[in-house]
Structure 1
Amino acid sequence: MEQEQQLREQLVKMMRGGIAFRPREELLEGITLADAGKKVESLPYTIWQLLDHLRFAQHDILDFCRNPDYQEPTWPDDYWPKETAPKNKESLQHTINALAHDLDEMVKLVQDKSNDLFAPIPQGNGQTLLREAILVAEHNAYHLGEVVVLRRLINSF
């Protein structure tokens, strides 16, 4: 049981960041509406598109983990926003807040000892909560790294 608790704690640390890189809150701090929509030559996405993709994908993983009636969105069309910039400051803040909220919800699933980390998720085809938590951590780390690079390229970090 001690090992399982250690595993749960490490999963939470991975999802929240701050071990190998700074936490999400720090990486996203100070992103302006103008910066979110700036295009960088030779890159196919803006900070906004990365953030909204992260929001959608993380919510999709959370929904998959807890919704017995889960319906898989269409890849890649549903996962990537077409708009290069948020409509307004409220849209940007909503996305950043949704990232935090859904990550908190995923953390709760992992911390809840009544959820078996190794049991297949009924609406899946072999995926487990352990796998989905690692997926959230890995996916978020990958795209947050891209956000940091974009912020550096547009001189906002």
Structure 2
Amino acid sequence: MIALVKELTAALQKGNAHATFEETVKDIPQKLLGAAPDGLPYSLWQLIEHIRITQWDILEFSRNPEHVSPTWPDGYWPKEKAPAPVDSLKKSVDQTLADRKAFVHLLEKAGEDLLTPFRHGDGQTLFREALLLIDHNAYHTGEIIVLRRLLGDWH
């Protein structure tokens, strides 16, 4: 199980074959956070917040049997295109990183329970939730890169 946890942790933190979350949100100009090119339903801010909210939900579901998830889809996407306070991006990114660290801690302490279904839910395991988190974050991290390219703000 140690090798499996190591690989899951690497996929969560390092990006492996793609850019990391940290790389994709680094140095985004404030003026671009609320921009949504024609034909796209969301802004950079909404994507970043969606990652944070969804990751928080997966973390809480994994560690708290009493957790109640937000209503889908409205509870997982911010309504505002841009953050109100200027420091909102930093707070969102910091919380995303803190929650990811907390999830990795769950993985590290799970031991043989990594594949044991939770007592709550409908058969989910911590392993399954880790795969869900890896997949979800990678998907939306890629969208952030594409959106930044469309806005002329990606190397």
TM-score range (shorter-chain normalised) is over 0.9
Is 1:71 the counterpart of 2:107 in the alignment?
no
Q: Distance in 2 between the 1:87 and 1:115 partners?
A: 44
Q: How far did residue 115 of structure 1 move? A: 6.3
Aligned to 1:39: 36
Q: How far did residue 121 of structure 1 move? A: 1.2
Is 1:20 the counterpart of 2:29 in the alignment?
no
Q: Is the 8 A contact 1:17 1:141 kept in 2?
A: no
Aligned to 2:149: 152
Could you tell me which runs of 5 or more consecutive residues in structure 2 were left unpaired when the two chains were aligned: none
Aligned-residue sequence identity (percent) comes to 42
Q: Distance in 2 between the 1:25 and 1:54 partners?
A: 12
Aligned to 2:130: 133
Question: Does the residue aligned with 1:121 lie in a helix, a strand or coil?
Answer: coil
Q: How far did residue 113 of structure 1 move? A: 4.2
- Residue number among 43, 48, 51 corresponding to 2:48 in the alignment: 51
Q: TM-score, normalised by structure 1?
A: 0.94
**Size of the alignment, in residue pairs?**
154
Q: Which moved more, 1:113-122 or 1:80-89?
A: 113-122
Q: Distance in 2 between the 1:38 and 1:61 partners?
A: 28
- Residue number among 117, 121, 130 corresponding to 2:118 in the alignment: 121
Q: CA 1:18 to 1:72, structure 2 compared with 1: closer, same or farther past 3 Å?
A: closer
Q: Which moved more, 1:118-127 or 1:138-147?
A: 118-127
- Residue number among 91, 95, 98 corresponding to 2:95 in the alignment: 98
Q: C-alpha root-mean-square deviation of aligned residues, in Å?
A: 1.2
Q: Distance in 1 between the 2:121 and 2:112 partners?
A: 15
Q: Is the 8 A contact 1:70 1:123 kept in 2?
A: no
Q: Which moved more, 1:133-142 or 1:16-25?
A: 16-25
Deviations 1:70-93 (A, max 9, x none): 112210010011100011221111
Q: How far did residue 64 of structure 1 move? A: 0.1
